[in-house]
Structure 1
Amino acid sequence: MADLNRQDIIRGMMAEVDGLSHRMAAASLEAAISCISQALIEHQSVTISDFGKFGVRQRRARQGMHPHTHAPIQIPSVAVPYFSPSPALKQQVKHGSNPDISR
């Protein structure tokens, strides 16, 4: 089974919503991604019920080693995004079910 890409998601949105054009589906996906990205940039979390939570964690500074010279280097602290799936999503993946999300 191939991985989904942006166009696959847009086609899936069009299949789920009658009368949704490709342009509107693409704009909706872009708007959702933009909202989530902006919240993460501002170090806010985003929770989508029955799907999961997007957030930002601070990775601490640490001592590393240069791969070629093996000299010690200081790796700075950095903010990294993460995704934590909801219990409902974990169950769906575990059991391979595909319920109607819109309910």
Structure 2
Amino acid sequence: MNKAQLIDAIAGDSGLTKADAKKALDAFLKVTGDALKSGDRVTLVGFGSFGVSERSARTGRNPQTGKEITIPAKKVIKFKAGSELTDSVN
């Protein structure tokens, strides 16, 4: 499902217009991104939670040359599915 299909599904299930559904989805994405940038955790009970964790620097290998390279530390976004979402998939 891509963003346009998700907007159509939200509009169909909620009774909103497609334009309003797009605004709501865009607002959710912006607010979630801003919260994660500031180091907060976003939890939607039953659905799951988004969080940021640190990945430390490590040594890797260039697959073409076999030469060792240093992979810098960075922040990564993680999602952990909630129990209701997990149960609905299974």
TM over 0.5: yes
Distance 1:69 1:9 in 2: 42
Counterpart secondary structure, 1:70: coil
**What is the deviation of 1:67?**
2.6
Give the TM-score of the pair, scaled to structure 2.
Answer: 0.91
Q: What is the Cα deviation at residue 51 of structure 1?
A: 0.3
Task: Name the SS for the 2:39 alignment partner.
Answer: coil
Which position in structure 1 is the counterpart of 2:11?
Answer: 14
Structure 1 residue runs without a partner (length 5+): 95-103
Identity of aligned pairs, percent? 31
Number of residue pairs aligned between Structure 1 and Structure 2:
90
The structural deviation recorded for 1:71 is 2.0
Letter in 2 for 1:62: R
The residue that corresponds to 1:72 in the other structure is 68
TM-score between the two structures when normalised by the length of structure 1: 0.81
**1:60 and 2:80 correspond:** no
2:21 matches 1:30 = no
Following superposition, which runs of at least 4 residues in structure 1 exceed 6 angstroms of deviation? none
Greater length-normalized contact order (CA 8 Å, ≥ 6 residues apart): 2
Question: Are 1:40 and 2:32 counterparts?
Answer: no
Secondary structure of the structure 2 residue equivalent to 1:47: strand
Question: What root-mean-square deviation, in Å, do the aligned CA atoms of Structure 1 and Structure 2 show?
Answer: 1.1
Distance, in Å, in 2 between the alignment partners of 1:69 and 1:26 is 46
